[in-house]
Structure 1
Amino acid sequence: MSHLGGLRRIGPFEVPALGLGCMNLSHAYGTPPSAATAERLLLAALDAGVRLFDTAALYGFGANEELVGRVLAPYRDDVVLASKCGMTGVDGKRVIDGRPETIRRTCEEALSRLGTDVIDLYYLHRVDREVPVEESVGALAGLVQEGKVRAIGLSEASADTLRRAHAVHPVAALQNEYSLWSRNPELGTLDATRELGVALVAFSPLARGVLTSTPPRMADLRPRDIRHAMPRFAAANYPDNLVLRGQVEALALGAGCSVAQLALAWVLSRGPHVLAIPGTRSVEHLLEDLGALGLALPAAVLDAAGRVLGADTVRGPRYAATTQAEIDTEAFPDAG
């Protein structure tokens, strides 16, 4: 049986295994929710026991940091606040910039937007191919020494890059996409994080909403929704992927849980150093997700889910070629 309750370590902190990814409250999935809806969701997460809240300078080009900082300000000492630098909005466009001077400036801006004097966990959001990761991590280490950051992390980074970064300054967390349909960490970073004592924080653990009770209908997605550009949602692939999703849901129903709960339980079962940060705009879905922490699922059910939906069965790569070129993580030859 897989028991998921209890706390997991991320750098100097101990938090429940499920945090909250805050991106979709301001960014990437079409029109953001109202301020009132976003605030209600954040406070509901806090009330339900969530302690790890994940934002970034990129999300809403600063708007998400402002939102999270404002709503959580009265509870600052009760939460672990994570944000990211190295990829920001410049003149309305997304820019990857890992230069030390940019990281330092972005941190000052983040502290102001978050309304705090220290960021608990600060990630390099993307590895800048024009800047050695050692230089970017050196800047993050300087922020730790100055007391502006408590711990540092990397996002969308490979095992080799993690090792290089960790040699400069201890890396508390590596945030990579990990779910039943995105298995890239199994190409190296799952083992490397375990070996180095680094937390592996899984983003998009519910497969961009596919592994939920309401998988996205492409006809309903707003024009600016990032899933339009993702090959797994293309007309040639998405129907087949929904069939696989249905098979996972059948396993979940047989085990007495929801498809989202099974998907989250599967991710958390990959190791005691693995955490996940699903995102949602719905309090109902939030509480459903958190229900995964109370599950004790048979290993046979988890293994079956992993066989039904995985690198060998999913249709389409994780990203389009232009986006994949910016990503440092290991990739499967055909499925991204």
Structure 2
Amino acid sequence: MRFDQEPIASYGQTGKTAVLLINLGTPDEPRPAAVRRYLREFLSDPRVVEIPAALWQPLLRLVILPLRGRQSAQKYAKVWMREGSPLKVHTEHQTAALRQLLLANDYDVIVDYAMRYGNPSISDKMRQLRQAGVERILVLPLYPQYSSSTTAAAADEVFRVLRHLRNQPDVRTVRQYHDHPSYIDALRQQVEAYWQQHGRPDFAAGERLLLSFHGVPRRTLDLGDPYHDQCLKTGKLLAEALQLSETACRLTFQSRFGKAEWLQPYTAPTLEELGRAGTSRVDVFCPGFTSDCLETLEEINMEGRHAYAAAGGRAFHFIPCLNASPAWITALGEIAARHLQGWPILPEAEAEATRARAEASAAARQGVRA
């Protein structure tokens, strides 16, 4: 195995610290070739599809990619922003806002982001950070609920890259924050801010709030993946923060793929059920997605809206994801700060002043004891 060439370190030099946000990924453009390239990488990860490669790869390359590439490209084109893919645009805004927040609080850290699949890749970003003299990296996935197919997949790639580095940096990973008080409060503020502008549903009259999380195969729950339980915990805490009952606030799972059973209840059938029941209003919020993306903008706000209306539903309200809301950036800052503890993250001058104050305080205490 060949190892990467490393920057030459100077004696006594203190390396830099970085926070690397990681999101799922997105095609480079809303065209079939780019979407197929992205889906091939995504769906080839054994963390995502737990089928032996010898069985899965022929089906993926000969059937799924030719069919889904064009269909998915059409869906991406519906939500594509002037600046690019919504997921990438919102992740860039979150990165810039977190960088500004940490800088304002005197944290001397580099803040950047990478995508698990697609660009910018984890490999490229980690190598760029090493070339910039970074010796400590906090890996912060933008997945509040832990799942083998998301959080673990990101960690797999981080540690795969480390195998090729001659001079490996210190690395810390954030496993989950599904019940972090500031994350829950950011969700609450996002929902309530929407209701302040568009009115609050009349829950007493049967109107509902739907919390839709990304689905995973039911089998993963049986094998010990904590994702399902963490989604339930997030939903429970958010409902309590909004002072809603389980009847008024329902939790569902979306994005089912294939014929196997996935986590239930499913979002689309639930929307149809509410529509057939004549529900006058349903609001849908996706707490597990920290950025609006294809799954929220197209699957929920377009396909879900249509399914609900076609079944007889009336008013459909889509509540945007956290994106770069101030409360969410504050939560990200608190999560990052907690996991940065113990690393040299203050500017050198401030660090020297802190050490001097600590030494003076220790000397004063010693004098009192004497």
TM-score, normalised to structure 2's length? 0.26
| TM-score (norm: length of structure 1) | 0.27
Q: Would you tell me which structure has more helix in proportion to its own residues? A: 2
If you compute each CA radius of gyration, which structure gives the higher value, 1 or 2?
A: 2
